[in-house]
Structure formats: structure tokens, C-alpha cells
Amino acid sequence: MATALIWNDEELNYDFGPSHPLKPIRVKLTVDLIRACGLTDADNVVTLPQAAFGDEDVLRLHSEAYVDAVRGCSLRPRQSAVSFGLGPGDNPTFAGMHEASLQVCGASVAAADAVWTGTVAHAFNPAGGLHHAMPDRAAGFCVYNDPAAAIDWLLRCGANRVAYVDVDTHHGDGVQAFFYDDPRVLTISLHESGRYLFPGTGFPDEVGTGDAEGTSLNVPLPPATPGPVYLEAFDAVVPPALDAFDPEVLVTQLGCDTHVTDPLAHLALVTDDYLELAERLHRLAHDHTSGRWVALGGGGYQIVSVVPRAWTIYFAELTGAHVPLEVPLQWQQLAEEAVGQRSVGTFLDGPVQLAPERLGAIRGQAASSVEELKRAAFDLLAAR
């Protein structure tokens, strides 16, 4: 089955500046590592550009007043629009911001279109996953919401049931907001609890509204949650939810800021866990959606040591290949020259060690979140 990598260098234009943690070089290094591992050389892999995505398309998602504000800041980058979340802080303005944000959406729409039309079974846009953008404002480094754009595209093309699974360390609040009252979309987010981390949402009682009750599922996890506990929560929630919802296509946000070394969050996964997650998501796609899987990037702020390795692991799984044990030396040298940081030499990290008492406490808190979610939403989902 064919897999598409959605990429061209225009996706590097989404750039808040050199002091901002969301650095586009992390995506370029990911694509370079994917290529250095030979994953794009396979006969079943194609590289596709972004789709056309313009003002008419973005206005299906975002309010006219907000899009006008983005356009204005894009033309006059010293201007702020604080009421729309644009300005100093998380979402600084920059020249061409409107066009760059449209390009990210177009890349995710291209992934969705390639999968839905059967051009490929799986597609990956590593520059995507801007899941915090709200209908009327920017948030959390996200201007326009490309996962919502991809899901909206699938619905417009005739999909009746789309499942969205978000494994970023931050709650996928924007995507949830777009589809909170839409029974055609199941959103599942596993994330560090909003009690400790932006955006402060994503609790089990957020289950959807109206006809969509039961289609918003949230698993908040305590700080220092390691991979085995995370995977236990995933297994307890995601497969049975997909069983009940019966989706036609799977969209995933693959943020890797869950890593134990990420500077902006506090979970404790390692790259070994991304291999496990990739295998699980791949299996779920084939079990539930005839293999139709749209994969998007997301957060991740260790731009050399984690992000490229994590997303190369995911892309290898998408293609049915295996990553090598060692990160290619040529790529390590390239990354050090580009960023001035040394990479880890192997793809897998090995496990995180926690004291038994602490591990037990974290496991108990995670299990409580899962049970609270099941009580709040699973009966509603099953009754649909």
C-alpha cells in the first residue's frame, strides 16, 4: 500500500522567528532524516506538494474578523491584534503569516485528499498538527487549524465518520472546539493534565454537546507519566472508542513533546514508546478504516535530538519499513552544522526508570482518569 510524504520547502515559511520554540528547521531535519534512512526511495512512497487552500477555504473554519486580522498582521508584521491572540508571546506576527498558515493547511488537506481518493493509503504532513487554533483566534503557536481543515475536507468529500486521535502532550483543544457539536467526528486526546499545562482544558467531563455527546474523549495524565502507563491508558480508551464509533478514516496528531527531555512539558515518554504508538495506530487504521490514515506532526521542541527521530519512526511505520538501529552519521553531521546541536546516535532511547512508589502513584492517577472518562462518555458513545 502506498504512502505519501507531503512536503516542499514552502512549509518552512511558517516561522515565528529565531527566538521562538516552534522552529521550522525541526521539520526540515525530519524530512532530511527520513530521506537519509532511504524511506522515500521505496517504490510504495511518493512525495506530494500541498493542495491549493485559499481564503474561501479558511473562511469555512475561521471567522471573517479573525482572518482579516491575520491578513492585516501578515502585511504589517509590527502590528498586533491581541484580541485575536496575535502579538507578543506565543503567536508573534510575521510577514507572510497568512500565506504560510494557508500553506500548512493545504499540506494537511493534500494528505487527506490523497488518502480519501485512494491515491495512497497513508499520508504524513510533518509540518501540520497546529491543533490549538480556535475558530476566532490564534493560540499555542497555531494560527490556522490544519487538522480541522483536513477533517472538514474529508467531510466535504463524503466521509460520514472521522476519528481524530491526538497524542501531543497538550490537549487538542482547537480541534475539539471545531467539532464539539458534530456527531460525525470523534476526537480523542491523551495529554498532560490541564491542571499543570497549557491550555488548561481536556478533562473527562468534556464529552461533546447535543447530538455529539460522547464523541469528545479526553485522558488527562499526571506529570512524569512514562511510556508504559501512557500506553495502558491508550489501550484502555482508543481501541474500544474506535470499535464503538466505526470510523471511515483516521486522522492523527503526532506531537512528540511527550518526550521526557522536552523543555516545555513534563511527561516521560521515550522514542521506544513512539515505535509502540506507531504500531498501534497503524493496526487500528487497518482494523477500522481499511488503512486510511492521515498523519500530521505537532508539538516537539527538542528540535535535533527528538523530533526528527520520532517522526522518522512514525513515517517508517506508515511505509511498512523499519528504522535502522543507528541514526545515519551523515545526517548527524548535517544537523550539527545546521543547528549547532549534536544528535542522539540511535533511534531508540531505552526505558525511563522511576521509583516503584512514584510509578505506582502515577499509574493510579492515570487509571482514575481513564475510569472517569469511561463513566462520563463511553455509554453515550455506545448508544449512538
In sequence order, the 6+-apart residues with CB closer than 8 A to the CB of 332 are: 342, 343, 345
- pLDDT score recorded for residue 91: 98
Mean pLDDT of the chain: 98
| Residue 113 cell numbers, joined | 485528499
- pLDDT score recorded for residue 354: 96
Task: Please report, for the domain that includes residue 104, its CATH number.
Answer: 3.40.800.20
Q: What is the pLDDT of residues 207-224, one digit of tens each?
A: 999 999 999 999 999 999
Mean pLDDT to the nearest integer, 43-68 = 98
Range of the domain at 254: 3-50+98-382
Higher-confidence position of 79 and 86: 86
Instruction: Flag whether 84 is in a domain.
Output: no
180: helix, strand or coil: coil
Q: What is the pLDDT of residues 322-364, one digit of tens each?
A: 999 999 999 999 999 999 998 999 999 999 999 999 999 999 9
Instruction: Flag whether 245 is in a domain.
Output: yes
Instruction: Flag whether 81 is in a domain.
Output: no
d(CA 256, CA 308): 10
- pLDDT score recorded for residue 79: 87
Higher-confidence position of 77 and 118: 118
Angle at 351 between CA 349 and CA 357, to 5 degrees: 150
Mean pLDDT to the nearest integer, 285-296 = 99
Q: What is the pLDDT of residues 100-135, one digit of tens each?
A: 999 999 999 999 999 999 999 999 999 999 999 999
Give, for 72, the enclosing helix (H) or strand (E). helix 64-75
Task: Please state the φ and ψ torsions of residue 180, each to the nearest 5 degrees.
Answer: -65, -25
- pLDDT score recorded for residue 206: 99
In sequence order, the 6+-apart residues with CB closer than 8 A to the CB of 290 are: none
**Catalytic residue set:** 132
Instruction: Flag whether 60 is in a domain.
Output: no
d(CA 228, CA 199): 25
Q: Percent of the chain beyond pLDDT 70?
A: 100
DSSP classification of residue 81: B
Instruction: Flag whether 240 is in a domain.
Output: yes
**Using 50, 70 and 90 to split pLDDT, how confident is the model at 381?**
very high
Task: Please state the φ and ψ torsions of residue 125, each to the nearest 5 degrees.
Answer: -110, 100
- Asked whether 330 and 37 are in contact (CB, 8 A), the reply is no
- Asked whether 331 and 343 are in contact (CB, 8 A), the reply is yes
pLDDT(260) > 90: yes
- pLDDT score recorded for residue 359: 98
pLDDT(384) > 90: no
Instruction: Flag whether 125 is in a domain.
Output: yes
| Residue 191 cell numbers, joined | 495529554
| Residue 223 cell numbers, joined | 506529570
Bridge-based pairing of strands 3-6 and 249-253 is: unpaired
Instruction: Flag whether 67 is in a domain.
Output: no
**Using 50, 70 and 90 to split pLDDT, how confident is the model at 1?**
confident
Q: Is the dihedral of CA 33, 163, 176, 280 positive or negative?
A: negative
| Residue 56 cell numbers, joined | 474561501
Q: Cis omega before residue 226 (within 30°)?
A: no
Q: How many domains does the chain have?
A: 1
- pLDDT score recorded for residue 59: 99
Instruction: Flag whether 353 is in a domain.
Output: yes
Mean pLDDT to the nearest integer, 269-283 = 99
Q: What is the pLDDT of residues 144-180, one digit of tens each?
A: 999 999 999 999 999 999 999 999 999 999 999 999 9
pLDDT(319) > 90: yes
166: helix, strand or coil: strand
DSSP classification of residue 340: S
